[in-house]
Amino acid sequence: MLYVRPYDEKDKNDFRHICLETASPTSKTEKQKKLLLTLYCDYYTEQEPQNCFALTDENDSAVGYILCSENYERYKDTFNKLYMPKLKKSGLLNFFHGKLDMLSHSMYKKEFPAHLHIDILPEYQRMGGGTALMTALKHHLKEKNIHSLLLAVDAKNIKGVSFYKKYGFSVYKNFIFNYIMTLNF
């Protein structure tokens, strides 16, 4: 049985583990790990913990997460100030990757100020957890009067794209090798 609950500080290491475990097998050097954790995990748990939810097992251990930034402008300012220097330190490639990732959000910030990342450990996938996490986030955002979401997904990620489409997202734009997918609710 899987459960959804708000993020707790005790989840931080589990979230970092999930972030690395669910990444492409080619992203395994120390530099690549730093990029993944900085860009796709630490900002959210450290700066917007109230917008993060955990998928947990019966021992209350996190086996998946959904992470969200509710406002692009605030995300951009904080990320540039606190996290971009870390990416720069870990190499120019990471720095440019970070900039490109921000650009993919900034182009659509007016219509879609909130964005998300979702990952579940392989052995807990296809059990309804992704759907439950998405619904928890959607309810949470609605209470804050936020009614749309954006995400970027590798166009070759069949599993991810199928999941988002099933949930009601549609492809809004193509951005290099990614689909920018959006949902209004």
Ligand X SMILES: CC(C)(COP(=O)(O)OP(=O)(O)OC[C@H]1O[C@@H](n2cnc3c(N)ncnc32)[C@H](O)[C@@H]1OP(=O)(O)O)[C@@H](O)C(=O)NCCC(=O)NCCS
Residues that bind ligand X (CB under 6 A): 22, 118-120, 125-131, 151, 153, 157, 159-160, 162-163, 166
Question: If you ran DSSP here, which 8-state letter would residue 145 be given?
Answer: T
The residue among 89 and 159 lying less far from ligand X, judged by its C-beta, is 159
- At closest approach, how far in Å is the CB of 175 from ligand X? 13
Locate 166 and state its tokens: 């099933």
- At closest approach, how far in Å is the CB of 106 from ligand X? 18
The residue among 89 and 166 lying less far from ligand X, judged by its C-beta, is 166
Q: Is 127 helix (H, G, I), strand (E, B) or coil?
A: coil
Among 65, 83, 74, 57, CA closest to 8: 65
- At closest approach, how far in Å is the CB of 103 from ligand X? 17
Residue 82, judged by CB atoms within 10 A of its CB (0-12, 13-18, 19+), counts as middle
The residue among 77 and 154 lying less far from ligand X, judged by its C-beta, is 154
The residue among 85 and 168 lying less far from ligand X, judged by its C-beta, is 168
Residue nearest to ligand X (CB): 130
The residue among 15 and 163 lying less far from ligand X, judged by its C-beta, is 163
Half-sphere exposure of 71 (CA within 13 A, CB side): 9
- At closest approach, how far in Å is the CB of 85 from ligand X? 25
The residue among 98 and 130 lying less far from ligand X, judged by its C-beta, is 130
- At closest approach, how far in Å is the CB of 164 from ligand X? 8
* Parallel/antiparallel/unpaired status of strands 115-120 and 53-56: unpaired
Among 151, 142, 157, CA closest to 171: 151
- At closest approach, how far in Å is the CB of 81 from ligand X? 25
Q: Are 35 and 97 in contact (CB under 8 A)?
A: yes
State how far the Cα of 162 lies from the Cα of 168, in Å rounded to an integer: 10
State how far the Cα of 180 lies from the Cα of 88, in Å rounded to an integer: 25
